[in-house]
């Protein structure tokens, strides 16, 4: 790496910190959304099942970019104006949560029905069955697809550069306009995204091994 490339790193690392902030915030919000929506779709109560289904289908069936533009440009027309970084976190979380809900639902349904019936025969309550039988088996099944969703969320953070958030992609575009050093800049951006994705994968695999060991 020559001296010129080193000079490109500080602004890119500043952008990376924003990308990590958006990613972490979106994941923190997407996880409870996915759990609530996934379990809501399995509920016997229409009052819970229908809103969860509408949420999942709307956010899975529309473009994340269009969702981002709606929250940033359209909602202010109705009097709701949010900071750009909040919009980025909320939209990415809602989008990832919709896909995550299907991961949760599939993992819960994958637990053999016979185990629940046997637990009911032993006079266990539904809460006990969920906590002791369903959840311990469902979580390890959720983690591999959840890892993919987190990496996809990381990559989708590049979209927030279109609503004036100074993330990694945004800083890279500014640098390119100023220096015209396209190869070096986007090579570094690829490397930084790839490094974060590897860290997410390693962390989730460690978590998966611990849950399976238990």
> What is the C-alpha separation between 119 and 211, in angstroms, rounded?
22
Q: Which two tokens stand for residue 96?
A: 């990832």
**The pLDDT value given to residue 3:** 45
**Which residue shows structure tokens 């690392």?**
13
Question: Which pLDDT score, from 0 to 100, does residue 126 have?
Answer: 76
What was the pLDDT predicted at 5? 46
Q: How far is CA 40 from CA 28, 45, 48, 136, in A?
A: 19, 8, 5, 19
% pLDDT > 90, the chain = 56
Q: Are 173 and 185 in contact (CB under 8 A)?
A: no
Per-residue model confidence (pLDDT) at position 6: 52
CA distances from 198 to 130, 165, 174 (A): 33, 24, 26
For residue 2, what pLDDT is reported?
A: 46
Predicted local distance difference test score (pLDDT) of residue 1: 43
Please tell me the predicted confidence (pLDDT) of residue 201.
Answer: 94
How much is the pLDDT for 68? 94
CATH architecture assignment, domain 3-213: Orthogonal Bundle (1.10)
Nearest Cα to 149, choosing from 194, 93, 205?
Answer: 93
All residue ranges of the chain with pLDDT < 50 are: 1-5
């Amino acid at each position: 790496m020559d001296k010129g490339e080193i000079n490109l790193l500080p602004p890119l690392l500043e952008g990376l910190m924003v990308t990590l902030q958006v990613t972490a915030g979106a994941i923190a919000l997407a996880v409870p959304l996915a759990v609530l929506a996934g379990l809501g779709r399995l509920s016997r109560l229409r009052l819970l099942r229908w809103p969860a289904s509408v949420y999942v289908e709307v956010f899975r069936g529309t473009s994340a970019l269009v969702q981002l533009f709606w929250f940033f440009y359209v909602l202010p027309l109705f009097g709701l104006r949010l900071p750009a970084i909040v919009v980025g976190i909320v939209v990415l979380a809602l989008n990832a949560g919709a896909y995550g809900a299907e991961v949760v639902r599939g993992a819960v349904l994958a637990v053999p029905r016979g185990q629940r019936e046997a637990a009911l025969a032993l006079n266990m309550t539904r809460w006990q069955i969920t906590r002791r039988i369903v959840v311990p088996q469902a979580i390890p099944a959720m983690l591999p697809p959840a890892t993919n969703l987190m990496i996809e969320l990381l990559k989708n953070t590049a979209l927030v550069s279109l609503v004036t958030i100074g993330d990694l992609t945004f800083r890279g575009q500014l640098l390119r306009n100023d220096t015209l050093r396209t190869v070096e800049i986007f090579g570094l951006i690829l490397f930084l995204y790839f490094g974060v994705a590897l860290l997410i994968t390693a962390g989730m695999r460690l978590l998966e091994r611990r849950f399976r060991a238990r």
